[in-house]
């Protein structure tokens, strides 16, 4: 549908603007909190109206006035006695101007067809009957439950006694069926609705979605959502009308997709589940190969106290490098700062190599290093070096008596495909570097060239957001894995994952012990996730400084002599500070006093102890790190 939308939000996007002229029947506006979605749709509403579109906007606060209880402290609800039948026009104007939904019941009163549609839906799907009661000039929606055998239960007020979910669904469906509007903008339609209700509403919405300029009975929809259940991307057209918001920049959308990518993405879309769809809402999605990688990475970061969710980051497992490449392309087109963690064989096979090679960040790095701009050419040079070294190496491995070299030789012999053979060689170079170097004396220069190129190739991938597990696969980083380095069976993968997962969940490791066990993996994870710690020390130090000063002042006035007198001293305010720390000691000596406190575990899980006396400078006190 042709609709010229041009939006600017200077305090969020600076001088940049959002422009989009073609829209779908259903348009998804997605992204993290505080990225401007609500402010965007306020302008969207006005611009649609300026183009003769009959818009109804439903805000995320649309149930205002329909709350179950009246909280006098926060103000009086004009709907307490029901809907004033003499002010229906006022109620409609309020709803239209502020995105409220109470006037849905006016629509049910005035439009019999919609009322019948709603009654049929409520009774047959949700076991409810609605009745609009007129009392003293007020319209009061009332509900009855329909029990087994079509027996009606006692009637009750919708406002006072019905759940928020049914209120939401009832009003949303009313606006959906109302022909006064041919465009609905709904901010967070998932509010109060469990996943099945969300799915039902989306199914109803799809029945009516269409171009109202061609078919007057159809509506165009703009859905602002944080729910993966609403982002129902079925076709490439659906994907093109998904507008993704990110902090500090205008939202992005996919405009063009080349024919080859269209074919591949079309095959991916049916496999998109609610877990995959998290990337639409994350500032930094991290895609990994398989569920075991996702579980282990997430558990390690959680055990270390790295809050990925607070960073609007998430780790998403996909099936193999084909899907890694597709998500790489999609995220790049949507301007999402995605990261990827791939096994070492990403260097020897798959289309992700080509996608990274075409990435400007990769090209800029290669040019800076003076080795051209084409990563595929650099990889080709490395592959030729592998072939040269392998040609000399393989005959010499035939007669080796060293068991580790024999295992390496056997893995090379079993690798029937060239890319697999190259991968095995890279693993050998990783774990048998010195032994291999001693066997390729005629290709020493090629061997050194290969090692240098591999470092630059891996760095080029990283510059494009792809972090390579240079040890091989996840299992190569896990202490529980003790089998063949070159060929990891599916059974070994499952066994290792279960053992490692149980170990992480059941153990009480310190930060140092976690690093000792997973150090190399943690380095990769931290580069990919850019984690932040919630550091309480700055705030604790400030509070402790103030309290030290209060204790010293009270001591200098002769008001405290022991723990009991300290705790009852009004100026020291022990009652408030006892929530931060426990008092371990307060005693006098010939030089003054000694005080020891122990931080409480809510603010300091390590429960550090602080010691000070009357001579300590309160203003310069610094809480020591353990």
Give the pLDDT confidence score for residue 451 in this predicted structure. 94
How is 445-511 classified by DSSP, letter by letter? HHHHHHHHHHHHHHHHHHHTTEEEETTSSGGGG-TT--S-SS---HHHHHHHHHHHHHHHHH----H
Give the pLDDT confidence score for residue 531 in this predicted structure. 74
Span 87-133, pLDDT tens digits: 889 888 888 888 888 899 999 999 999 999 999 988 888 888 888 88
How is 529-541 classified by DSSP, letter by letter? H-------HHHHH
Rounded CA separation 74/192 (Å): 22
Between 101 and 286, name the one with better pLDDT. 286
Lowest mean pLDDT segment, chosen from 3-12, 25-34, 74-83, 506-515: 74-83
Q: Is the pLDDT of residue 65 over 90?
A: no
First to last CA, the chain: 62
Q: Is the pLDDT of residue 71 over 70?
A: no
- On whether the CB atoms of residues 310 and 283 are closer than 8 A, the answer is no
- On whether the CB atoms of residues 55 and 185 are closer than 8 A, the answer is yes
Copy the structure tokens of residue 68: 């179950």
Give the pLDDT confidence score for residue 312 in this predicted structure. 75
Task: Express the helix, strand and coil content of the chain in percent, nearest 5 each.
Answer: 50, 15, 30
Between 535 and 40, name the one with better pLDDT. 40
Give the pLDDT confidence score for residue 511 in this predicted structure. 84
Give the pLDDT confidence score for residue 160 in this predicted structure. 80
3-state secondary structure of 132: strand
Q: Is the pLDDT of residue 626 over 80?
A: no
Rounded CA separation 62/51 (Å): 25
How is 178-232 classified by DSSP, letter by letter? -TT-SEEEEE-TTTT--HHHHHHHHHHHHHHBS-TTT-TT-BEEEEE-S-TTT--
The CA distances from residue 410 to 236, 384, 402, 437, 491, in Å, are: 46, 22, 12, 18, 20
- Partners of 436 in beta bridges: none
Residue located via tokens 């960040």: 361
In Å, how far from its chain's centre is CA 20?
A: 26
Residue 210, CA atoms < 13 Å, CB-side half-sphere = 10
Domain positions in the chain: 537-620
Give the pLDDT confidence score for residue 131 in this predicted structure. 87
Span 562-582, pLDDT tens digits: 999 999 999 999 999 999 999
Rounded CA separation 172/186 (Å): 9
- On whether the CB atoms of residues 300 and 525 are closer than 8 A, the answer is yes
- On whether the CB atoms of residues 251 and 244 are closer than 8 A, the answer is yes
Give the pLDDT confidence score for residue 70 in this predicted structure. 54
Rounded CA separation 176/4 (Å): 24
- On whether the CB atoms of residues 427 and 344 are closer than 8 A, the answer is yes
Own/partner long-range contacts of 352-359 (Cβ < 8 Å, ≥24 apart): 352/321, 352/324, 352/325, 352/328, 352/466, 353/379, 355/325, 355/328, 355/329, 356/328, 356/460, 356/461, 356/464, 356/466, 359/332, 359/464
Average pLDDT over residues 516-538: 88
Copy the structure tokens of residue 295: 């579980």
Rounded CA separation 376/27 (Å): 38
In Å, how far from its chain's centre is CA 395?
A: 51
The single-letter DSSP state of residue 283 is S
Q: Is the pLDDT of residue 76 over 60?
A: no
Copy the structure tokens of residue 117: 């549609």
In Å, how far from its chain's centre is CA 140?
A: 42
Task: Report the mean per-residue pLDDT for the chain.
Answer: 92
Q: Is the pLDDT of residue 468 over 50?
A: yes
């Amino acid at each position: 549908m042709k609709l010229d939308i041009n939006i600017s939000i200077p305090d969020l996007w600076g001088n940049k603007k959002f422009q989009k002229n073609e829209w779908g029947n259903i348009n998804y506006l997605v992204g993290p909190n505080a990225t401007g979605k609500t402010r965007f749709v306020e302008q969207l509403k006005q611009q649609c109206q300026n183009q003769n579109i009959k818009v109804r906007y439903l805000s995320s606060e649309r149930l205002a006035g329909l709350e179950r209880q009246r909280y006098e402290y926060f103000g009086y609800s004009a709907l307490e006695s029901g809907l004033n039948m003499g002010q229906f026009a006022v109620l409609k104007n309020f709803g239209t101007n502020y995105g409220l939904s109470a006037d849905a019941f006016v629509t049910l009163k005035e439009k019999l067809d919609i009322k019948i549609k709603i009654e049929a839906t409520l009774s047959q799907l949700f076991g409810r009957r609605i009745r609009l009661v007129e009392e003293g000039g007020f319209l009061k929606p009332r509900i009855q439950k329909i029990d087994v055998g079509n027996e009606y239960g006692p009637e009750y007020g919708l406002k006072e006694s019905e759940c928020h979910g049914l209120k939401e669904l009832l009003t949303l469906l009313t606006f959906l069926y109302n022909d006064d509007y041919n465009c609905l903008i709904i901010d967070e339609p998932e509010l109060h609705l469990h996943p099945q209700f969300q799915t039902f509403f989306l199914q109803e919405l799809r029945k009516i979605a269409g171009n109202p300029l061609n078919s007057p009975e159809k509506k165009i929809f703009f859905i602002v959502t944080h729910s993966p259940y609403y982002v129902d991307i079925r076709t490439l057209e659906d994907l093109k009308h998904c507008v993704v918001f990110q902090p500090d920049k205008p939202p992005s959308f996919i405009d063009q997709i080349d024919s080859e990518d269209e074919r591949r993405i079309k095959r991916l879309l049916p496999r998109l589940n609610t877990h995959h769809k998290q990337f639409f809402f994350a500032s930094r999605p991290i895609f990994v190969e398989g569920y075991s990688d996702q579980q282990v990475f997430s558990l390690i970061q959680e055990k270390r106290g790295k809050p990925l969710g607070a960073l609007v980051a998430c780790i998403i497992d996909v099936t193999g490098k084909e899907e890694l490449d597709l998500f790489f392309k999609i995220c790049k087109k949507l301007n999402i700062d995605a990261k990827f963690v791939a096994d070492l064989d990403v260097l020897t096979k798959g289309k992700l190599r080509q996608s990274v090679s075409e990435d400007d960040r990769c090209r800029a790095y290669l040019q800076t290093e003076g080795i051209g701009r084409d990563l595929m050419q650099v990889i080709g040079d490395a592959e030729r070096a592998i072939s040269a070294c392998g040609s000399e190496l393989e005959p010499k491995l035939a007669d080796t008596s060293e068991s580790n070299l024999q295992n390496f030789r056997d893995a090379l012999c079993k690798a029937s495909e060239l890319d697999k053979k190259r991968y095995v060689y890279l693993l050998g170079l990783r774990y048998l570097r010195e032994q291999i170097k001693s066997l390729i004396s005629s290709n020493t220069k090629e061997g050194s060239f290969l090692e240098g190129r591999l470092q630059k190739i891996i760095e080029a991938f990283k510059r494009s957001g792809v972090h390579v597990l240079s040890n091989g696969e996840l299992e190569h980083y896990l202490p529980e894995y003790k089998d063949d380095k070159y060929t990891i069976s599916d059974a070994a993968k499952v066994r290792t994952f279960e053992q490692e997962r149980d170990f992480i969940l059941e153990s009480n490791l310190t930060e140092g012990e976690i690093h000792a066990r997973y150090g190399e993996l943690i380095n990769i994870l931290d580069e990919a996730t850019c984690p932040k710690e919630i550091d309480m020390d700055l705030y604790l130090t400030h509070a402790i400084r103030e309290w030290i000063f209060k204790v010293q002042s009270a001591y200098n006035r002769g008001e405290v002599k022991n723990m009991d007198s300290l705790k009852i001293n009004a100026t020291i305010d022990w009652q408030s500070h006892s929530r931060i720390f426990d008092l371990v000691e307060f005693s006098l000596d010939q030089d003054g006093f000694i005080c020891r406190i122990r931080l409480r575990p809510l603010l300091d899980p390590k429960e550090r102890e602080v010691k000070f006396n009357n001579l300590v400078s309160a203003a310069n006190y610094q809480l020591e790190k353990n």
